[in-house]
Amino acid sequence: MPIQSLGYLGVRSDRIDDWKYFAGKVLAMQLADRGGSQLSFRMDDLVQRLIISDEPGETLAFIGWEVEQKSDLQYFASKLEAAGHEVTLGGQELADRRFVSDLIVCHDPAGNRIELVWNPQMADEPFKPGRPIDGFKTGPLGMGHAVLHVPDATALLPFYCDILEFAVSDYGLEPIPLYFFHVNGRHHSFAIVGSGKSGFHHFMVEYENLDDMGQGYDIACQDKDAIAYTLGRHTNDHMTSFYANTPSGFFVENGWGGRMIDPATWVPHETTVGPSFWGHDRLYLPEPERKAFVDMRLQAAADGLRAPPVVDCPWLYELRGRR
């Protein structure tokens, strides 16, 4: 796939000081720069992964997708223009601000700004997390994943599947349509929720160590309004996670142990079970809507739904079976 990974995210927010604490102490990102009217944060060896622009809006500003080769930028520009989408060359000034060698800019049919970028810049200094952690699961898998509210999810499929060549991992049609897409071995790097709204639902960061995610949960719990979804485990990507409320009102999923797939052999399918094996109690929802998710989790328990073991150790499970 010419698009390799989720490179970076940009957020519009005038709550800069709140983001400095949230991204640094809850998420454990490194504050890389507080120059001018923006913050930028690191998660690994790259110069930046998350950019917070000091401007009103409290929502997604842009999504950066990394391509494999510089020629891929022209490839996608031609496909986008042939389909009637306006494409802008990023130019050197924007490339310098994004710390990439080159980029193009377009918008999806829902109006979300998409930046396709080539050759992100490596930092000169080692990554220093905002609190002690073993690191984030990034590298060739990218920053994590991003999920958007959209007015009509089905209407966006030609843009993301046919033009940008994202591959569907799985999808749900009831009670509202939602689609999960992969661009590498991570189960999904992008998803759209056909909620009838527009905006950011959440982005996800994945920790290398379960305890790093759990300690973030403890830190977030010190604020009684910080938790949006309690600890739980998803049925599609097997991620163990919690969701925190950001200063901008959308969520961040703090995860560990996400599912890896083989894009060459993966078969997309419809999901008909609830979104979580257990947990992920949606504390922000009114009681009737919240109870619907509780009922789905109780049904999962009654049906014995579970993910495969995280550790693939056949001899251990064979020994356990002999007891």
Task: Tell me the pLDDT tens digit for each residue of 178-224.
Answer: 999 999 999 999 999 999 999 999 999 999 999 999 999 999 999 98
Question: Which pLDDT value is given to residue 185?
Answer: 97
Question: Which pLDDT value is given to residue 318?
Answer: 55
Question: Which pLDDT value is given to residue 315?
Answer: 54
| Digit-coded pLDDT (tens) for 114-159 | 999 999 999 999 999 999 999 999 999 999 999 999 999 999 999 9
The DSSP line for 222-280 is TSTT-EEEEEEEESSS--EEEEEE-TTSSEEEEEES--B--TTT---EE--S-SEEEE-
**Rounded-to-integer distance, Cα 18 and Cα 244, Å:** 13
Which neighbouring-strand residues pair with 179? Answer: 171, 192
The domains of the chain, with CATH numbers, are 3-303 (3.10.180.10)
Cβ atoms of 280 and 230 within 8 Å: the answer is yes
Question: Which pLDDT value is given to residue 322?
Answer: 44
In the numeric block, the tokens 């661009």 are attached to 183
Q: Which residues in the chain show pLDDT less than 70?
A: 1, 34, 310-323
Question: Which pLDDT value is given to residue 180?
Answer: 98
